Structure 1
Amino acid sequence: MTVARAWSGGRYAVLGLARSGAASVRALVAGGASVVAWDSDPAKRIDPREGGGPVAGQSELGPRLRGGGVEFADLDTIDLAGFDALVVSPGVPLNTHPIAAKARAANVPIIGDIELFAQARADLPPHKVVGLTGTNGKSTTTALVHHILQTAGVPSLMGGNIGLPILGAEPLPAGGVYVLELSSYQIDLTQTLDCDVAVLLNVTPDHLDRYANFDTYAASKARLFAMQSPAHEAVIGIGDDASAAIARSLSARGESLTKIAPGVCMDQSRWPALQGPHNAQNALAAIAVAKALGVAEAAIDTGLETFNGLPHRMERVATLAGVTYVDDSKATNPESAAPALAAFPRVHWIVGGRAKGDDLDACAPQFDHVVRAYTIGEAGPRFAAVLDGQVPVEEAGTLDVAVTRAAARAVRGETVLLSPACASFDQFADYAARGLAFRRAVEALAA
């Protein structure tokens, strides 16, 4: 478990006791801090150091956990003055949640588990950190960098917005590399993370319910580089205006800045899990990171060839009667769905869910790849109207119906693609549940 001497004797409030929150509590207490914690879900108000079990005893602040060091209290009801920090989940909307205003009024820093990890780095064996962000592609690129390092025999851990909470992992041995996928929300909660290699893939409109405007969202991404030592490596895709502007602002870094230009032609035939122009960009970024870390070219080539991809990210589920079925449920906005459409020449496109906007403009350049579209979910009627006259389209309503209709029309050599360009929460618990439902519907075709 990762701990820091700097936490010893400190007092911390932790809001949210899901995976990262529980890991934060365990690490803080192990580091000698006292913690007041809260989660609105009573089932999560258990001893996070022991992974569960009944809570015994009471205090004036609420139930006290066994062994001391942690107590439960509704943080809305207590005075935050005197706390060293408020640790919150990235899911807490800092722009609207009352606890954020309360902490600011008490002059208490608001941080997340990535900042706690940054504070603990001085107590870890010598290591390096790679931080990757971007609106789209960051999960694939993070996993690819981790896979290349593992292929090269370099000890590495993958965490942040992917994998296990970074504070819950055992520290790497000397020479290890921590590979962190970082959302804008996580960057907002981080103050001192000096990445040895920082990566920005792209910035396109997303999460605008959490930001005043697109510029403030882009500025959040840019903070990853503001926290860096100038001599450390920066890798930036320059395929959009916001990312290109961030790259220009770092031009003084000279050879420590690598720009990934769009449209670079690459032979991707030997990389089965890295098809399409967007994956060419992801691969170029991963290659740049690996080279910055000193990985040999032979190991990089092997890593690219053996990478299996991520679940629900252009994942090939089956090929039935010559038709390929691809789960891209993780494409939750049009900018993320567009590259998937570009990767296949003839697509039966399943699109819809809870929309993040009113249009599919980002996908329009790829409409010539769409044989037919099948809309689902809340956005189904609206997207059917948007697509009408541009591609053949029908309202399927539900995912299972869309799969059945697409299978009935698709012919050998074509692809049935779930790339919804929407969030999943209208019909599913999350994008993973949506992807599993797609897999089950495809499996039912073969039954």
Structure 2
Amino acid sequence: MIVSSAFAGKRYAVLGLARSGQATVASLVASGAHVMAWDSRDEPRQGLCEWIDCGKVELADPVAADLAGYDGVIVSPGIALNQHPVAEAAARAGVPVIGDIELFALARHTLPTHRVVGITGTNGKSTTTSLVNHILEVAGVPSQVGGNIGVPVLGSDPLPEGGVYVLELSSYQIDLTHSLDCEVAALLNLTPDHLDRYGTLEAYAASKARLFEMQGKERCGVFGMTDSETGIIARVEAARRAPGLIRLVDGSDLAEMQGGWPSLQGPHNLQNAAVAVAIVEALGIKKGQWERALRDFRGLPHRMERVAEANGVVYINDSKATNPASAAPAIAAFPPNPEPRLHWILGGLPKGDDLDECMPYFGNVAAAYTIGDAGPRFAEILAPYTRVHRSEMMAEAIRQAMAEAKPGDVVMLSPACASFDQFRDFEARGQTFRQIVEALLAPDEETGGKG
């Protein structure tokens, strides 16, 4: 883990003891800080002593505790500060509310010389973050991912001199960060999301823009070119930086190469790759290095993940598509050949009342299979364009799709919804899809046929 003299003798309160909270407590204690820790759930509090010396941690709720003299309250990004009383308690005591990314920023001057890449956006963050890390590894540059993906940034060992920390950053994490000066920062795209937290798209965009506002004027910014909100932020940043430090990319210059990237198909992955290339080029990586890395990159689970192929039909798990904007490029990736060939499983807990972003690609859909709370509404929307099965449950949707799919077709889960109506999270939903597909494709023990 990261241990830093920047925290020695300081006083911090940590609210939330999931993975990042545990790593934060361990790092602060090892660095010589006084730590107050709390979680609203009994289990994390009771398990505290299993991974830390309890004698070095004060177990108390910062909402009710005296925070006078504390240097910060570190909260989990999942805590909504516009609703949680910890924000008011910290404000009364004049204590900043921050996250573990801000602690990392404060510790940077004590670490071996390194660079930081910050990647944000509504969709594509994890793929782009992992791709940048992969390219750096292929090029022989020490690197590691952190932030909203992989090991919490404070929980990993410091990189050697010359290393690159590649951080996936959600808007929630950026909200809790005030001094992270990334050598390279990237914004992939902006579409309506998390509006329960921000209220408007403009407020959500302002949160993302802060990643660039924290950068020095000599730093590099990379921006996708698919939406006007991202373009507005790019223009603001271009006005305060020297020419050449802002890169606008859409992937058009890489389109001819995409056929050689098995795990990066579809227009969304073309832009993800273009942003990754712009980032690594800003870090000094040459074309020969990133070309080789793009060819052998293996995609992430639940993001256009090919889970099976049988009888000429490909099965794809895109459970990470939790809104229509992220499902749209997945649908676009499978145009008719010459007839529509996509069997689309969608639905869950809706984030809106329409599929407008997906509508331009409805002609790619041979049949739709709707599930979950959004199923009835999505069925109404899709009925004028394609055959619709009101499947309700995942298993039934997969059975129906298997029965209809022909060689050359694709069966894809790309829900365009959150998962919480039927599943714990998008990972559980994707894993269920994989398991059902594998079970239904497995040979029947008695007949030797498919089950």
TM-score, length of structure 1 as denominator length: 0.95
Q: 1:293 aligns with which of 272, 283, 287?
A: 283
Instruction: Give the SS at the match of 1:350.
Output: strand
Provide the rounded CA distance (Å) in 1 between the counterparts of 2:281 and 2:193: 30
Q: CA deviation at 1:46?
A: 4.6
Alignment match, 2:361: 366
Q: CA deviation at 1:48?
A: 4.9
Q: Is the 8 A contact 1:273 1:308 kept in 2?
A: yes
1:10-33 per-residue CA deviation (whole Å, 9 max, x = no partner) reads 111100000000100111111111
Q: Is the 8 A contact 2:251 2:273 kept in 1?
A: no
Instruction: Give the SS at the match of 1:423.
Output: coil
User: Aligned ranges for residues 218-233 of structure 1 at < 5 Å?
Assistant: 218-233=205-220
Matched, 1:401 2:388: no
Alignment match, 1:60: none
Q: Is the 8 A contact 1:85 1:110 kept in 2?
A: yes
Provide the rounded CA distance (Å) in 1 between the counterparts of 2:260 and 2:313: 21
Q: CA deviation at 1:50?
A: 5.2
Deviation larger for 296-305 or 429-438: 296-305
| Residues 48, 288 of structure 1: alpha-carbon distance in 2 compared, 3 angstrom cutoff | farther
Q: CA deviation at 1:146?
A: 0.3
Give the AA of the match of 1:422: C
Q: CA deviation at 1:114?
A: 0.4
Q: Percent identity?
A: 59
Q: Is the 8 A contact 2:6 2:110 kept in 1?
A: no
Instruction: Give the SS at the match of 1:209.
Output: helix
In the alignment of these two chains, the number of paired residues is 434
Matched, 1:156 2:143: yes
User: Aligned ranges for residues 188-227 of structure 1 at < 5 Å?
Assistant: 188-227=175-214
Give the AA of the match of 1:297: K
Alignment match, 2:338: none
User: Aligned ranges for residues 280-359 of structure 1 at < 5 Å?
Assistant: 280-345=270-335, 346-359=341-354
1:126-178 per-residue CA deviation (whole Å, 9 max, x = no partner) reads 00000000000010000000000011111001010000101010100000000
Alignment match, 2:10: 10
Q: Is the 8 A contact 1:197 1:232 kept in 2?
A: yes
Instruction: Give the SS at the match of 2:9.
Output: coil
Q: CA deviation at 1:389?
A: 1.1
User: Aligned ranges for residues 6-45 of structure 1 at < 5 Å?
Assistant: 6-45=6-45
Q: Is the 8 A contact 2:119 2:125 kept in 1?
A: yes
Instruction: Give the SS at the match of 1:331.
Output: coil
Alignment match, 1:377: 372
Q: CA deviation at 1:103?
A: 1.4
| Residues 290, 19 of structure 1: alpha-carbon distance in 2 compared, 3 angstrom cutoff | same
1:24-62 per-residue CA deviation (whole Å, 9 max, x = no partner) reads 01111111110111012222115658527xxxxxxxxxx
Q: Is the 8 A contact 2:148 2:168 kept in 1?
A: yes
Segments of 5+ residues of structure 1 without an aligned counterpart are: 53-64
Matched, 1:414 2:403: no
Alignment match, 2:250: 261
Provide the rounded CA distance (Å) in 2 between the counterparts of 1:233 and 1:49: 43
Provide the rounded CA distance (Å) in 1 between the counterparts of 2:156 and 2:418: 30
Q: CA deviation at 1:296?
A: 2.2
Instruction: Give the SS at the match of 1:374.
Output: strand
Provide the rounded CA distance (Å) in 2 between the counterparts of 1:398 and 1:165: 34
Give the AA of the match of 2:428: A
